[in-house]
Chains A and B, each alone.
Chain A
Amino acid sequence: MIGKHLLSMNQLTAHDITQILDTAESLRRVTDRPIKKLPTLRGRTVCNLFYEASTRTRISFELAAKRLSADVINFSADSRSSVAKGESFKDTAWTLEAMGVDAIIVRHGSSGAPHQLAQWVDAHVINAGDGAHEHPTQALLDLFSIRERFKEIEGLKVAIVGDIIHSRVARSNVKGLITMGAEVTLVGPATLIPREAASWGATITHQLDPLLEDLDVCYLLRVQKERQNEQLFPSLREYANLWGLDARRMSKMKADALVMHPGPMNRGVEIAAEVSESPRSIILDQVANGLAVRMSLLYLMLGSNEGIDA
């Protein structure tokens, strides 16, 4: 079973992931109905505790909780502003606990913050992205989107391209994809790939072109523009030339191969505009599926007692 908290993709077996994806599939049908709401979490309170700006993840969780009839409260603060105001992360956690919150969905710029939170509160904790560590629900919605197209994840060849070292999306996806039996290759300049990433079970390479024709999925990560100032690569132009997915590169990919991106995109850097809008791109499916996967998680973690602590 999933466990009380979802902090890392490490804690999920292939069986757990399949259960989450299967449940998401059933729940998605609800969202196709005229009345898009289930009573499962009526009387339960879910708090979105966001210490980092986020639109899609917060809205997605909020909507997922509301579709299951939970009460939702949103608490947003910049990581450091709450410190400046004098209320610590721990005090905020205890305050929410005292108010009887059932689940805390936490986004934080500091890696490990959800782990610390889980030690302080009785509520369920769901990691909605922590520093450069993990973003498990992103990986789950990506797995859902891939499975939807290919039916099976096992044996697929997936390349994750770009800034692996600073990416929580990459860390969660590598774990999830490998657990589900995919072959993962990490692609990018050596400055953006941890030297030890081979121990994650992925293959490391620095050139994208030789891989393209064998790929089933080309997963592009956002290049943060400020990285340019850290001398991790010479320029955005050079990055786009060497690792960006443009129409020419995409044309080498198999007919049914997919292009994915966690958003927000830098069109013209890691992904060309025509690629993002091509039929191979399932970027908007990813967003839509995020809602179903998050409903599934809340349903499984909070919905029935058997599903929680067993």
Chain B
Amino acid sequence: MSDVLITNGRVVDPATSLDEIADIHLTDGSIARIGTGLSVAGAEIVDVTGAVVAPGLVDMHTHLREPGREDEETIATASAAAAAGGYTAICAMPNTDPVQDSASVVDQVWASGREAGLVEVVVSGALSKGLKGERMADLGEMAGSAARVRLFTDDGHGVQDALFARRVMEYLVSVDGIYAEHCEVEALAAGGQMHEGETSHRLGLRGIPAEAEELMAARDIALAKMTGCRLHLLHVSTAGTVELVRRAKSDGLHVTCEATPHHFTLTDATLEGYDPMCKVNPPLRPARDRAAVIEGLKDGTIDAIATDHAPHAQQEKDQEFSYAPPGLVGLETALALTITELVDPGHLTLAVAVERLSTTPARILGLDGHGSLATGRPANLVVFDPAAEWMVDPMKLRSKSRNTPFAGRTLKGKVLHTFFNGKQTVTAGEVVRGALV
């Protein structure tokens, strides 16, 4: 029986419409009570005056690289990076080696996540065997496994065959799965290095047009309407996609989507210096698309902020731009980028930011134990100082890979403590080793 009393924080919980200075009493890993002037005999007091207490962040889109590329990241290092970034749940993308396309692989990832014990590792499953877009992965068996897979995606690849997409959507309805798409028509995007536009043509880099994303988004929305399947669009990056989702939602379709911090922070202009750190897929887009992503986050068209955390080994990023793999690490910068780029300039209130980072992604993934500070729920929460500034130093990241385009940037918003199922995984900004072990 352990009691913790988190005192004097600004408690922000969109799920219960709470935003006030209060104390939170945690007992036996759950939230016992929220109120002012609480006092609990024998409780450990964590005074968080001046800081914000929010439900732990939930990342819908994390590449953990284990199994297969443990030199780049492991489930344990990704969990530590996530905890340090204020997360209590992360969704493991299936493009591992072997691919998460069967119950045995998803269960292995799920069990390793439990063993790391720093966050809840929610496991997604592939839509197709080997992410090839040809034969269905073991969708029902993954849904019924210990990992209880709910979100299915071939992330990294869009499903090219419309009939296959239709069949998978129809099938997923019967196992209560979400069809999550990496929207990219390969015929239009093949060989592309960055967004196709004025900058790519000037730099002489082959472009990926916005239409490569938008055509597939439009197709999937039509198929979702046809099949009744729940559709989630991963990392939307163009004004056109945001508009398609806005219209689909107003038509009453069950479509959700996410956007990444790098797409609401950076534009394709950052590619001017050919820095492979800024190479990512979908690519960074022009200012107009970035503004549309911010607008979508503002009006709720975009439900979630997701990192698309994609670790890469140094030698792979240290190549010619055309050969370097796309992707960047994001777990430890997402909250600060949200505060610096969206809350500070007045695009989002802090409460809406928390909704996009925690409440809504938890709801989409069906995680009852996350995304809310309601009494009786597991104590999954983050304490952060929204005003504290810090400089991104790649060498200080807990992730095993250091491929961030934000090196040297000063950001606002610092994680102080993270609690996962009532145990402190981060204290005073430091990850507690073996928190649950």
The main secondary structure of chain B at its interface with chain A is: loop
Question: Once the chains are docked, how many angstroms separate the CA of A196 from the CA of B196?
Answer: 10
Indicate with 1 or 0, residue by residue over A85-101, a CB within 8 angstroms of chain B CB atoms.
00011100000000000
Tell me if B322 is interfacial: C-beta within 8 Å of chain A: yes
Cα-based distance from A130 to B205 in the complex (angstroms)? 10
Interface residues of A in 65-112 (CB under 8 A from B): 79, 83, 88-90, 108-112
Give A87 Cβ to nearest chain B Cβ, in Å: 11
Complex contact B204–A111 (CB within 8 A): yes
Tell me which residues from 131 to 186 in chain A have a Cβ below 8 Å from any Cβ of chain B.
Answer: 131-134, 165, 168, 171
Tell whether A194 is near chain B: CB-to-CB under 8 Å. Answer: yes
From 173 to 228 in chain B, residues with beta carbon under 8 angstroms from any chain A beta carbon are 193, 197-198, 201-206
For residue A13, which residues in chain B have a CB less than 8 angstroms away from its CB?
A: none
Residues in A with CB closer than 8 Å to B321 are: 110-113, 116
- Give Cα A110–Cα B206 distance, bound, in whole angstroms: 10
Which residues of chain A are within 8 angstroms of B390 by Cβ–Cβ distance?
none
Instruction: Report the minimal beta-carbon distance from A139 to chain B, rounded to whole angstroms.
Output: 14
How many Å lie between the Cα of A83 and that of B203 in the bound state? 23
Which of B25-33, B246-254, B312-320, B391-399 lies at the interface with chain A? B312-320
Min distance, Cβ A304 to any Cβ of chain B, angstroms = 29
The answer for the CA separation of A130 and B322 in the assembled complex, in Å, is: 11
Tell yes or no: A236 within 8 A of B by CB.
no
Please state if A131 and B319 are interface contacts (CB–CB under 8 Å).
no
Contact of B318 among A88, A130, A195 (CB under 8 A): A88
Closest to A10 in B: B202
Chain A contacts for B197, CB-based, 8 A: 196
Give the shortest distance, in Å, between B82 (CB) and chain A (any CB).
31
Is A197 part of the binding interface, using a Cβ–Cβ cutoff of 8 Å? yes
Residues of B within 8 A of A194 (CB): 201
Is the CB–CB distance between B274 and A112 below 8 Å?
yes
Residues of chain A lying within 8 A (CB to CB) of residue B201: 165, 194-197
Nearest A residue (CB) for B275? A116
Residue contact B198 to A115, C-beta cutoff 8 Å? no
Q: Min CB distance, A40 to chain B, in Å?
A: 32
Residue A229 is within 8 A (CB to CB) of chain B in the complex: no
How many B residues are at the interface, by size bracket?
Answer: 10 to 19
Number of residues from A at the complex interface, CB < 8 A: 27
Residues of B within 8 A of A110 (CB): 320-323
B202 adjacent to A116 (CB under 8 Å): no
B273 within 8 Å of A by Cβ? yes
A52 CB, min distance to chain B CBs, angstroms? 12
Alpha-carbon distance between A171 and B198 when the two chains are bound, in angstroms: 13
Query: Counting CB contacts under 8 A, is A305 at the interface?
Result: no
> Contacts A88-B319, A116-B321 given: A111-B205 contact, CB under 8 Å?
yes
**Is A55 close to B, CB under 8 A?**
no
Known contacts A110-B323, A111-B321: does B204 contact A130 (CB below 8 Å)?
Answer: yes
A79 to B318, CA, bound (A): 15
A-facing residues in B324-345 (Cβ within 8 Å): none
B residues within 8 A CB of A165?
A: 201
> Please, which residues of chain A bring their CB within 8 A of the CB of B276?
116
Set B193, B202, B205, B318: member contacting A90, Cβ < 8 A = B318
Interchain CB contact under 8 A, B204 and A89: no
Tell me the nearest residue of chain A to B204, going by C-beta.
A133
B315 touches A132 (CB 8 A): no
Chain A nearest CB from B225 CB (Å) reads: 32
In the complex, the answer to whether B204 meets A116 with C-beta atoms within 8 Å is no
A200 touches B320 (CB 8 A): no
Rounded to whole angstroms, the CA-CA distance of A298 and B172 in the bound complex is 65
Is the Cβ of B318 less than 8 Å from the Cβ of A132? no
Distance A34 CA – B276 CA, assembled complex (angstroms): 49
B299-321 to A contact mask, C-beta < 8 Å, 1/0:
00000000000000001001111
Measured in the bound complex, the distance between the Cα atoms of B202 and A200 in whole Å is 8
- The answer to whether B204 and A171 touch across the interface, beta carbons within 8 angstroms, is yes
Say whether B320 contacts A196, CB under 8 Å.
no
For B206, list chain A residues within 8 Å (CB).
Answer: 132
Expressed in whole angstroms, the minimum distance between the Cβ of B219 and any Cβ of chain A is 23
Kindly list chain A residues whose C-beta atoms are within 8 Å of the C-beta of B318. Answer: 88, 90
Q: Is the CB of A89 within 8 A of B205?
A: no
**What residues on B are CB-neighbors of A199 within 8 Å?**
198, 202
Residues of B within 8 A of A109 (CB): 322
Cβ of A112 and Cβ of B319 under 8 Å apart? no
For A108, give the chain B residue with the smallest CB separation: B320
- Give bound CA distance, A134 to B204, whole Å: 8
A196 touches B319 (CB 8 A): no
| Interchain CA distance A110-B320 in the complex, whole Å | 6
A163 to chain B, nearest CB (A): 12
Q: Contact at A113–B320, with CB atoms within 8 Å?
A: yes
Q: Least Cβ distance of A227 to chain B in Å?
A: 13
Task: Out of A79, A108, A112, A116, name the residue touching B205 (CB < 8 Å).
Answer: A112
Which residue of the partner chain B has the closest CB to A193? Answer: B201
With contact pairs A112-B274, A115-B274, A199-B198 given, residues A168 and B319 touching in the complex (Cβ less than 8 Å): no
Known A88-B315, A196-B197; judge A112-B202 contact (CB<8 A).
no
Question: CB distance B204 to A168 under 8 Å?
Answer: yes
State the CA gap A69–B203 with chains docked (Å): 34
A110 nearest CB across to chain B (Å): 4
Q: A111-B321, A132-B205 are in contact. List 5 more A-B contacts (CB 8 A).
A: A165-B201, A171-B204, A195-B201, A196-B197, A196-B202
List the 8 closest A-B pairs by CB distance, nearest first: A112-B274, A133-B204, A194-B201, A132-B204, A110-B320, A196-B198, A110-B322, A111-B204
A sample of 18 cross-chain residue pairs with beta-carbon separation below 8 angstroms, ordered by A number, consists of A79-B320, A88-B318, A109-B322, A110-B323, A111-B204, A111-B274, A111-B322, A112-B274, A112-B321, A113-B274, A113-B320, A116-B276, A131-B204, A133-B204, A168-B204, A171-B204, A196-B202, A197-B201
Interface residues of B (CB under 8 A from A): 193, 197-198, 201-206, 273-274, 276, 315, 318-323
Q: Which residues of A contact B (CB under 8 A)?
A: 79, 83, 88-90, 108-113, 115-116, 130-134, 165, 168, 171, 194-197, 199-200
